[in-house]
Structure 1
Amino acid sequence: MDWRYVRAFGIRLPMRYGIHGIDVSRHNDRINWKDVRQMEAEGVRLQFVFVKATEGATMSDKHFDKNWREAKKSNLRRGAYHFYHPTRDPIKQAKNFIRRVELSSGDFAPVVDFEVTNGQSDETIIEGLRLWLQTIEAHYNVRPIIYTNGNLYKRYIKGNLDDYPLWIADYSTKHLRAYDPDQLYLWQHSQNGWVKGIKGQVDFNVFVMDENRMQEICL
């Protein structure tokens, strides 16, 4: 892996990949999207952003509407994600997302952000996720993306939900051999980046497939 420290972003980037992006939520507060769009350093320009839309059965991110609109205006490919709670009704969670998020051609498929188990059984978690994914796919007519970390992937996703595109958060790894190469599209490799126009640290991601396969996870 060809890593290079890029001072403006404050982190090392895996330079073998050409498409870099970030994800944001209300934790990043108000964002100056003009600054984000204009930022370029050592040949790296941000090309996509995932924006938190909803959480659980009723919550929505207070900055979603503005971030969603501004991301489009900024010519960044955009995606929306839902933070999944295994203790909440998966259909209600899917409907919460559907109520808030209208997708256009070129946007990423919806993302389920799965990073807490809340003490639920394996069966409850896997079946709940499956219901969320199926409900979302039926509505938007595109296969949703699963975002998770390495431990949860091994325990719940692998062997159960292998048909879905994968976005993995893995900060320790120098390679991605632990994941299905046919399904791994996105890699969140750092939580500690810096971007002009955004307060605090930012998650950095890369698209790991051949660039011409981006369309497979978009509308």
Structure 2
Amino acid sequence: MPSSNYFYSCLRLCFQLPNWVKWGIVLFICSIYSILFYNLFVSPTGFRWRAIYGDPDYPAGYTIHGIDVSRYQGSINWNRLRNAMIERSPIRFIIIKSTEGGNHIDTNFRENFSNAKEAGFIRGAYHFWSNNSTARRQAYYFLAMVHLEPGDLPPVLDIENKPQNISTEEFQQNILTWLHIVEDKYHVKPIIYT
């Protein structure tokens, strides 16, 4: 058991170190942990953290900026948002999550939709595509829950992933079905947000 004795000797030596050295070791270990955590978990999915830290790479030459909001932003301070700037340009439009799938409405949609208009923003509503409902059911649910008015942005379809169990062509046809149903109602081509 020489390795066990070696371990206990090292442990005894650590307890005899001055406090400033112990704190230095703890800070070093925390720094290494933070670097590893960032590189392994945060950096590969960095786009998910943009809502917290902002996206520093906006297209050059564009002065019209907007944001999307949903229940994940919680209660929004619309007066403060009215004066918010992105790259020295004011926020002009808000796209608000309305529905998801064939039976889910964002809990903050109605409040956000109303408040965005009162705050003077151009507003829009987006439907989050779900692979668990048919295209028709999702389109008609969106139309039942969202009542766009003149001056609002065209309806938006947010598509994040394709189901593995159908072909690309079938998936495209499903998306087109949603787009055609919604276009027939509003007489404007929907925006695809992906």
Band of TM-score, shorter chain: 0.5 to 0.7
Structure 2 partner of 1:32 = 77
Matched residue, 2:3? none
Q: Calculate the TM-score normalised by the size of structure 1.
A: 0.60
TM-score (norm 2): 0.68
Q: Which residues of structure 2 form unaligned runs of 5+?
A: 1-52
Higher gyration radius (CA): 2
Aligned to 1:140: 186
Q: Structure 2: which amino acid aligns with 1:139?
A: K
Q: Relative to structure 1, is the Cα distance of residues 10 and 124 closer, same or farther in structure 2, using a 3 angstrom cutoff?
A: closer
For 1:143-168, what per-residue CA distance to the aligned partner results, in whole angstroms no more than 9, with x for missing partners? 111112xxxxxxxxxxxxxxxxxxxx
Shift of 1:42: 6.1
- Cα separation, 2, equivalents of 1:115 and 1:126: 13
Q: Label 1:45 to 1:58 Cα distance change in 2 as closer, same or farther (>3 A).
A: same
Aligned to 1:85, the other structure's residue is in SS state coil
> Over the residues paired in the alignment, what is the CA RMSD in angstroms?
1.8
| Corresponding residue of 2:111 | 66
Aligned to 2:131: 86
Distance 1:133 1:110 in 2: 9
Instruction: Spell out, residue by residue over 1:30-89, the C-alpha distance to the aligned partner (whole angstroms, 9 max, x if none).
Output: 111111012246632100110000000101100000000000011111110001123411
Instruction: Measure, in 2, the Cα distance between the counterparts of 1:26 and 1:99.
Output: 20
Q: Distance in 2 between matches of 1:124 and 1:57?
A: 19
Does residue 1:49 correspond to 2:115, yes or no?
no
* Cross-structure match for 2:120: 75
Q: What secondary structure does 1:35 align onto?
A: helix
Higher strand share: 1
Task: Name the structure 2 match of 1:106.
Answer: 151
CA deviation after TM superposition for structure 1 residue 102, in Å: 0.7
Aligned residue in 2 for 1:131: 177
Q: CA deviation at 1:140?
A: 1.2
What whole-Å deviation, never above 9, does each CA across 1:134-188 have from its counterpart, x for those lacking one?
000111111111112xxxxxxxxxxxxxxxxxxxxxxxxxxxxxxxxxxxxxxxx
CA contact (8 A) 2:157 2:191 kept: yes
**Would the aligned equivalents of 2:65 and 2:86 in 1 still touch at CA under 8 Å?**
no
Q: Which amino acid aligns with 2:111?
A: K
SS in 1 for 2:181: helix
Calculate percent identity across the aligned residue pairs: 38
Q: Greater relative contact order (Cα 8 A, min sep 6): structure 1 or 2?
A: 1
Which one has the bigger helix percentage? 2
Distance 2:168 2:84 in 1: 43
Moved beyond 4 Å, runs of 4+: none
**2-structure distance, mates of 1:140, 1:113:** 17
SS at match of 1:112: strand
